[in-house]
């Protein structure tokens, strides 16, 4: 009987998925789902109550005839009475998938988790708001306490109803994913942890369009570990997309064309995620040649072969701006800005770096104040050389800077001290073992994780604040 139930249940689930139905109405007590309630159903429930047999969790609402959340001999007796027509029957519903997002608390706060970077640089951000989860990049393959994967797994576990095992694959956390670019320190957790997991469902992925550079021989021979963690046949986005073919064909893929924007809104319309695709493809022969000229002495630099492919992919980072009422945040991926000291086109040092071109393009397209924001994830984890930082600080005058690499933190702080002295009320932040930012659209709270996220003032001095930091 157990084997027959499992086969029948699998068939029904397959049917539901094929027709796109999330729920099915069945007779209460019809545990074998043959369209009628019989003594055989009562016997099955009695065996389940005695732990002589098991049934899938999805069948439990059908077997729980007295609706007390437990399967007992009382349920078997009631089902037998229904089968004998001594009691009237009623309909109930079974669901093939339950999204635990609906159990999230109803608050007006936008919550942001920033993955830790104590061991090595990585970008991973999780936004939560009223049952909606958006993940920007995801960081390295990691199951550490400061990782995006662990954060999502813990969130799902906290949201599970009482009595539901954390191993129950029918209860999933639904997420939306945004990819800035395809380097392992931004997306490897998807390859190894999230996409193959039965506990998550990715409804939509947003990514920039493919660069022509990804079709070149230089891309094909570059260090495979940097692009897909040792996978040589398919690198970067190709590996990413191939996993959706294997695990989640229902996921919708949205490509943001070069020079275009796309917008994601929360269900209530109060939070807006604006996506800014790379202003142009830095992998074209013309633009790649320009990168060689400004960063690698026309290709003569000894680091060209190893570094140049990474620079092209970094330059093609998609940016994301988050707006909630009066507060804004900007995440810049790994856009390149490392050689010049000003971004303004009339500067004698202007060389059209990817960062500069991105700013100028979208300022013309969307308005000069498009990137006037409160919180900025500093370009390339904080790895912006001192002489290049002036242009960054001239543009971004935020309350907070997020640096996602401990070894670049000191450089970022030194640059803040040199170029940012006028903003004495601001702070540079390193996320250390993970950082939590919360805002109701006006006030912003930054919390340290177990007291280990180091917070510095604009002169590089560690602050004496041990609890919360509030944006005024």
Q: Which residues in 11-35 are b (16+ Cβ under 10 Å) and which e?
A: ebbeebeeeeeeebebbbbbbbbee
* 35 conformational bin, left if phi > 0, alpha if psi -120 to 50, beta if neither: left
Q: Is residue 459 scored above 60 in pLDDT?
A: no
Question: Tokens 């068939």 correspond to what residue?
Answer: 11
Name the residue with higher pLDDT: 366 or 394.
Answer: 366
Secondary structure of residue 344 in the 3-state scheme? coil
Q: What is the pLDDT of residue 140?
A: 87
Q: What is the pLDDT of residue 5?
A: 44
Question: Tokens 């995440």 correspond to what residue?
Answer: 331
Q: How many of the other CB atoms lie within 10 Å of CB of 371?
A: 21
pLDDT tens track for 20-46: 334 567 788 888 878 889 999 999 999
- Domain boundaries 101-470, corresponding CATH code: 3.60.15.10
Range list for CATH 3.60.15.10 in the chain: 101-470
Name the residue with higher pLDDT: 358 or 442.
Answer: 358
pLDDT tens track for 301-331: 777 777 888 899 999 999 999 999 999 999 9
Q: What is the pLDDT of residue 467?
A: 41
Q: What's the gap between Cα 178 and its chain centre?
A: 6
Q: What is the pLDDT of residue 432?
A: 60
Confidence of residue 128 (pLDDT cuts 50, 70, 90): very high
DSSP per-residue letters across 299-361 = GTSTTHHHHHHHHHHHHTPPEEEEEETTEEEEE-TT----S-S---TTSTT----HHHHHHHH
Range list for CATH 1.10.1330.10 in the chain: 2-96
**Per this entry, what is the length of the chain?**
472
Q: Which residues in 295-306 are b (16+ Cβ under 10 Å) and which e?
A: bbeeeeeeebee
pLDDT tens track for 62-84: 888 888 878 999 999 999 999 99
| Rounded (10°) angle between helices 354-366 and 386-395 | 10
Q: How far apart are the first and last CA of the chain?
A: 65
Q: Which residues in 418-430 are b (16+ Cβ under 10 Å) and which e?
A: ebbeeeeebbbbb
E strands along 169-234, which residues?
171-178, 200-208
pTM: 0.77
Q: Does domain 2-96 have CATH number 1.10.3720.10?
A: no
Question: Tokens 């935020």 correspond to what residue?
Answer: 398
Q: What is the pLDDT of residue 458?
A: 44
pLDDT tens track for 148-200: 999 999 999 999 988 888 998 889 999 999 999 988 899 889 988 999 999 99
| φ and ψ at residue 98, rounded to 5 degrees | -115, 125
Q: Where are the alpha helices (DSSP H) in 84-118?
A: none
Question: How far apart, in whole angstroms, are the C-alpha atoms of residue 50 and residue 72?
Answer: 8
Q: What is the pLDDT of residue 234?
A: 58
Secondary structure of residue 121 in the 3-state scheme? coil
């Amino acid at each position: 009987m157990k084997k027959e139930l499992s086969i029948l249940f699998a068939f029904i689930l397959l049917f539901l998925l094929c027709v796109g139905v999330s729920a099915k109405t069945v007779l209460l007590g019809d545990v074998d789902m043959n369209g009628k309630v019989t003594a055989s159903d009562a016997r099955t429930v009695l065996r389940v109550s005695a732990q002589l047999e098991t049934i899938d969790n999805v069948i439990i609402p059908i077997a729980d005839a007295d609706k007390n959340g437990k399967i007992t001999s009382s349920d078997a007796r009631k089902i037998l009475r229904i089968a004998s027509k001594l009691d009237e029957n009623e309909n109930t519903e079974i669901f093939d998938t339950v999204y635990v997002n609906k159990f999230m608390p109803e608050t007006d706060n936008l919550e942001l988790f920033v993955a830790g970077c104590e061991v090595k640089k990585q970008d991973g951000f999780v936004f939560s708001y009223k049952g909606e989860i958006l993940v920007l990049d995801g960081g390295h393959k990691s199951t550490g306490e400061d990782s995006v994967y662990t954060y999502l797994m813990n969130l799902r576990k906290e949201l599970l109803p009482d009595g539901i095992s954390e191993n129950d694959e029918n209860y999933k956390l639904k997420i939306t994913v945004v990819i800035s670019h395809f380097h392992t320190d931004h997306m490897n957790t998807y390859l190894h942890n999230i996409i193959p997991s039965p506990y998550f469902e990715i409804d939509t992925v947003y990514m920039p369009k493919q660069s022509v550079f990804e079709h070149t021989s230089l891309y094909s021979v570059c260090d495979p570990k940097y692009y897909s963690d040792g996978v040589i046949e398919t690198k970067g986005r190709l590996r990413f997309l191939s996993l959706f073919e294997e695990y989640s064909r229902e996921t919708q893929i949205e490509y943001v064309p070069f020079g275009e924007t796309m917008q994601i809104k929360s269900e209530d319309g109060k939070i807006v995620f604006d996506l800014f695709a790379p202003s142009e493809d830095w992998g074209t022969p013309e633009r790649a040649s320009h990168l060689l000229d400004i960063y690698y002495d026309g290709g003569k630099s000894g680091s060209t072969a190893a570094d140049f492919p990474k620079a092209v992919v970094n330059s093609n980072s998609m940016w994301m701006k988050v707006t909630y009422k009066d507060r804004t945040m900007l995440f810049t991926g790994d856009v390149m800005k490392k050689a010049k000291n000003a971004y303004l086109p009339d500067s004698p040092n202007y060389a059209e770096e990817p960062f500069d071109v991105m700013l100028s393009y979208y300022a013309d397209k969307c308005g000069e104040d498009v990137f006037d924001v409160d919180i900025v994830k500093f370009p390339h984890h904080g790895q912006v050389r001192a002489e290049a930082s002036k242009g960054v600080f001239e543009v971004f005058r935020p309350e907070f800077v997020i640096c996602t690499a401990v070894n670049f933190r000191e450089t970022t702080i030194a640059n803040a001290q040199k170029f940012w002295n006028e903003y004495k009320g601001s702070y540079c932040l390193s996320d250390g073992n993970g950082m939590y930012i919360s805002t109701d659209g006006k006030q912003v709270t930054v919390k340290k994780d177990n007291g280990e996220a180091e917070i510095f003032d604009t002169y590089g001095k560690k602050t004496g604040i041990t609890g919360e930091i509030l944006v005024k």
